[in-house]
Amino acid sequence: MSAKKLNLKDKYRLLTRDLDWEYSYVDRKKAFPYEEFEGIKITDWSKWEDPFRLTMDAYWKYQAEKEKKLYAIFDAFAQNNGHLNVTDARYVNAIKIFLTGVSPLEYQAYQGYAHVGRQFGGAGARVACQMQSIDELRHVQTQIHAMSHYNKYFDGFQDWTHMHDRVWYLSVPKSFFDDARSAGPFEFLIAISFSFEYVLTNLLFVPFMSGAAHNGDMATCTFGFSAQSDEARHMTLGLEIIKFLLEQHEDNVPIVQKWIDKWFWRGTRLLSIVAMMMDYMLPNKVMSWKEAWEVYFEEAGGALFKDLARYGIRMPKFVEVTEKEKEHVSHQAWWIFYNYGHAAGFHTWIPSDEELDWLSEKYPDTFDKYYRPRWELAKKMEAEGKRFYSQALPQLCTTCQIPMGFTEMDDPTQIAYRSSDYEGEKYHFCSDGCKHIFDEEPEKYVQSWLPVHQIYQGNCGGASVEEVLRDYYKLNLGADNLDIKGSPDEQRWKEWKGVA
């Protein structure tokens, strides 16, 4: 034969997108109907550069090897009561948040990528999304299996999927992903592949997995290592989608910028729970939230946005606010949970003296001035037997759904309130960023299932908060909630460790 042998790139093309063809018998738009309504212009799908080249046979082979190793460690972990090796019982609360708050997002990612993995007309993009879909399914399932052993010995894991659909603070992550999945296919990819996986993933995944590594949690840490090569693929998809959209048509630039603005802010709000986890919940600290933000967003993200400038993309809106927020957000978030510890599915506590000192050292400009006094007061009240829980239900931000506890960043003694009027109703927000997102798409955010509103409207069962917690959320009151001090978790831990 005279034809030339194929290079790897062309071969992969034949093994993926060449399977597709130009339709002649039905209107292709009927088969791929959602590509145009967002206003994105795709002039030529063939310009899509495959972000990675992995055929299914290789995928089965590599992933099976990874699973074999991972499950061998899960088995060993369970056989050897690996949970006894974590730093202390407080640590386990970080992974309760992970299972109830993050694993269901992996599930939604599986669903979201399945949807775009069917709906994109370009077969190259479709195949990449399908592979991410099955990876995300892997992540949720391996996380369940990693936590399965903890569930047998600690409270608060047991009803994670039921909780995710209902519990007030879990509507923060749930609404984040509902927002992305209910958007069009291109916004979904900018939201999740680019803004989340590429720009912010190091601030979610890395803190939890490093936290696990630093705190003797072999199951979670091994899962994290095992997922790394999947995540690397997901990040290349994030970079490809943004370059592809920006290069396809100049009219795409303002649309993409709008999505970056929205999803960057949505992402930072979601990460406030990670911030508090890093600063308050890990007995062995990895680094402070502020340091993580500086390394993973300000440095890495700064370089990325410099690269994107040639397409006419600028830094996300409100990025200057985050520069101030990194000093405050973890402290304010943990304070909210400390106040509502009776209504949470995990335990809360006052930082130890050493931990207070660590926070002072890591946050020299803000901690002693604004936050240490609160904890000193809480400590004093607790010692006097006056542990205080907020009984009133908080107002929630309509966009991010976090209780309105964040302050003005220039005046950390003043709670920030913003509002917008839409069709005769008033809507409340925690920040300019959240108000801006609402104002751009009010018809979407008026639909928000706000847990506190729903309780008041009687949609969550019982008349009292206690009934809601017990019957609607299915929390085991007295076991799952309240302080770690005196909890069954703590009692069992002491028995296992032989401490009085």
Residues 131-150 binding other proteins (CB under 8 A) are 131, 133-134, 137-138, 140-142, 144-145, 148
Q: Which is nearer to other proteins, 37 or 388 (CB)?
A: 37
14 is a contact residue toward other proteins (CB under 8 A): yes
Q: Distances in Å between the alpha carbon of 330 and those of 346, 358, 406?
A: 17, 14, 10
Q: How far is the CB of 19 from other proteins (least distance, A)?
A: 4
Q: Give buried/exposed letters for 172-181 (b at 16+ CB in 10 A, else e).
A: bbbbbbbbbb
Q: How far is the CB of 455 from other proteins (least distance, A)?
A: 12
Q: Which is nearer to other proteins, 158 or 210 (CB)?
A: 158
Q: Distances in Å between the alpha carbon of 163 and those of 106, 346, 478?
A: 16, 12, 17
DSSP for 338-375? HHTGGGSSS-B-PPPHHHHHHHHHH-TTTIIIIIHHHH
Q: Which is nearer to other proteins, 188 or 334 (CB)?
A: 188
Q: Which is nearer to other proteins, 2 or 413 (CB)?
A: 2
In the region spanning residues 152 to 181, those forming contacts with other proteins, defined by CB under 8 A, are 152-155, 157-162, 164-166, 171, 174-175, 178-179, 181
Is the four-CA dihedral 395, 400, 402, 408 of positive or negative sign? negative
61 is a contact residue toward other proteins (CB under 8 A): yes
46 is a contact residue toward other proteins (CB under 8 A): no
Q: Quick one: the chain helix, strand, coil %, rounded to 5?
A: 65, 5, 30
| Rounded Cα–Cα distance for residues 141 and 150 (Å) | 15
87 is a contact residue toward other proteins (CB under 8 A): no
360 is a contact residue toward other proteins (CB under 8 A): no
Backbone angles phi, psi at 246, to 5 degrees: -70, -30
Site string for other proteins, 89-108 (x = CB under 8 A): ---------------x--xx
Which position among 67, 88, 291, 432 is part of the footprint of other proteins (CB under 8 A)? 67
30 is a contact residue toward other proteins (CB under 8 A): yes
In the region spanning residues 392 to 451, those forming contacts with other proteins, defined by CB under 8 A, are 444-445, 447-449
Q: Which residue has the tokens 């609160």?
A: 374
Q: How far is the CB of 428 from other proteins (least distance, A)?
A: 16
Q: How far is the CB of 87 from other proteins (least distance, A)?
A: 12
Structure tokens at 349: 């506590």
Q: How far is the CB of 56 from other proteins (least distance, A)?
A: 3
Stretch that binds other proteins, among 116-124, 309-317, 340-348, 349-357 (CB under 8 A): 116-124
Q: How far is the CB of 454 from other proteins (least distance, A)?
A: 8
H-run or E-run covering 21: none
The pairing of beta strand 407-408 with beta strand 411-415:
antiparallel
Structure tokens at 231: 């995540």
Q: How far is the CB of 282 from other proteins (least distance, A)?
A: 20
Q: Which is nearer to other proteins, 23 or 388 (CB)?
A: 23
Is the four-CA dihedral 262, 268, 272, 277 of positive or negative sign? positive
| Rounded Cα–Cα distance for residues 249 and 112 (Å) | 25
11 is a contact residue toward other proteins (CB under 8 A): yes
The SS3 of residue 124 is helix
Structure tokens at 130: 């399908």
Stretch that binds other proteins, among 4-12, 44-52, 258-266, 330-338 (CB under 8 A): 4-12
